[in-house]
């Protein structure tokens, strides 16, 4: 017993101050929200060829970047001859609407994530059933991190629960493999209404690196209606928690 108390004392208090205090420092080399600068589209040619998922493309005579497909690998940045594509260390990226994930030159402000129904019903208690539907387990790992004492997501009343029957909604990761289609459907049906669905990570939003493979469904939107999109490969825990808090209206949207 004495041993336990002594160890507890040595380990100190470790829960971060955010969102009341500053957010945890992100590494200097972190690839957060990308930024597009206006420029001749010819100069994007090499960047387009380097992009593994087609997240970067050209429409209406200018570049655009789909956060929902992006793996944040920065191959585009390295290949781009005139610096039109760059990456900030901004973590805020989750969005309520799928189309809001598409970034165009000069468009730097994060999209809204607030969900009226969720803000009304779940702002003090949001129970989520996580469904892992393919992918590589990195998204799951960074969801699990939110339950550790550094992040302590429970302080906001947000929790992962064991049964879909106890849940207010699903948090889905993975591109939804063929072998998970039925299980995802059944889990969704088992959640009592009104319910919400969160797609976390490039796989769940667009299929990620597996987009186009016959073995999966290019994300979960084909199977269930999605209320919040959290980009990243995998999304940083701060990106996830920020998205969840804005979703339920616990964090002010930035102008």
Q: Which residues bind ligand SF4 (CB under 6 A)?
A: 50-53, 55-56, 65, 70-76
Phi, psi angle pair for 240, to nearest 5°: -65, -50
List CB contacts of 246: < 8 A, sequence separation 6 or more.
94, 112, 113, 114, 253
Asked whether position 149 contacts other proteins by CB under 8 A, the answer is yes
- Contacted by 9, from other proteins, ligand SF4, none: CB < 5 to 8 Å by type: none
For residue 51, which of 23, 19, 84, 88 has the smallest C-alpha distance? 84
Beta bridge partner(s), residue 173: 132
Among the listed ranges 37-45, 114-122, 191-199, 232-240, the one in contact with other proteins (CB under 8 A) is: 232-240
Q: How far apart are CA 151 and CA 145, in angstroms?
A: 7
Q: Which of 102, 103, 133, 199 binds other proteins (CB under 8 A)?
A: 133
Residues in 180-199 that interact with other proteins by CB under 8 A? 180, 182-183, 187
250 close to 126: Cβ distance less than 8 angstroms: no
Asked whether position 142 contacts other proteins by CB under 8 A, the answer is yes
Q: Is the peptide bond before 110 cis (omega within 30 degrees of 0)?
A: no
Asked whether position 37 contacts other proteins by CB under 8 A, the answer is no
63 vs 207, beta carbon nearer other proteins: 207
Asked whether position 41 contacts other proteins by CB under 8 A, the answer is no
Quote the least distance from Cβ 166 to ligand SF4, whole Å.
36
- Contacted by 84, from other proteins, ligand SF4, none: CB < 5 to 8 Å by type: none
List CB contacts of 171: < 8 A, sequence separation 6 or more.
128, 129, 130, 131, 143, 160, 198, 200
151 close to 237: Cβ distance less than 8 angstroms: yes
Grouping H, G, I as helix, E, B as strand and the rest as coil, residue 64 is: strand
Quote the least distance from Cβ 181 to other proteins, whole Å.
9
- Contacted by 111, from other proteins, ligand SF4, none: CB < 5 to 8 Å by type: none
> Which residues of the chain form contacts with other proteins (CB under 8 A)?
3-4, 7-8, 10-11, 14, 26-31, 49-53, 71-75, 129-145, 147-150, 160, 162-164, 174-175, 177-180, 182-183, 187, 208-210, 213-216, 233-234, 236
């Amino acid at each position: 017993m004495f041993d336990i108390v002594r160890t507890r004392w040595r380990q100190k208090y470790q829960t971060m101050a955010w969102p009341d205090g500053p957010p945890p420092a992100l590494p200097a080399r972190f690839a957060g929200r990308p930024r597009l600068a206006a420029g001749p589209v010819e100069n994007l040619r090499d960047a387009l060829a380097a992009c593994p998922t087609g997240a970067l493309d050209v429409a209406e005579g200018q570049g655009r970047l789909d956060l929902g497909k992006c793996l944040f690998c920065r191959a585009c940045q390295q290949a781009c001859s005139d610096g039109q594509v760059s990456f900030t260390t901004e973590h805020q990226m989750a969005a309520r609407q799928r189309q809001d994930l598409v970034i165009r030159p000069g468009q730097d402000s994060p999209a809204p994530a607030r969900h009226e129904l969720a803000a009304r019903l779940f702002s003090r208690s949001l129970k989520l059933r996580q469904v892992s539907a393919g992918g590589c387990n990195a998204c799951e790992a960074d969801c699990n991190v939110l339950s550790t004492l550094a992040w302590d997501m429970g302080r906001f009343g947000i929790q992962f629960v064991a049964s879909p029957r106890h849940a207010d909604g699903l948090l889905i990761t993975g591109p939804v493999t063929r072998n998970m289609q039925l299980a995802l459907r059944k889990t969704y049906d088992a959640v009592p209404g009104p319910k919400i669905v969160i797609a976390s990570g490039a796989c769940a939003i667009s299929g990620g690196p597996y987009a186009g493979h016959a073995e999966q469904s290019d994300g979960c939107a084909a199977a269930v209606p999605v209320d919040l999109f959290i980009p990243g490969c995998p999304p940083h825990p701060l990106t996830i928690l920020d998205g969840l808090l804005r979703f339920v209206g616990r964090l002010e949207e930035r102008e």
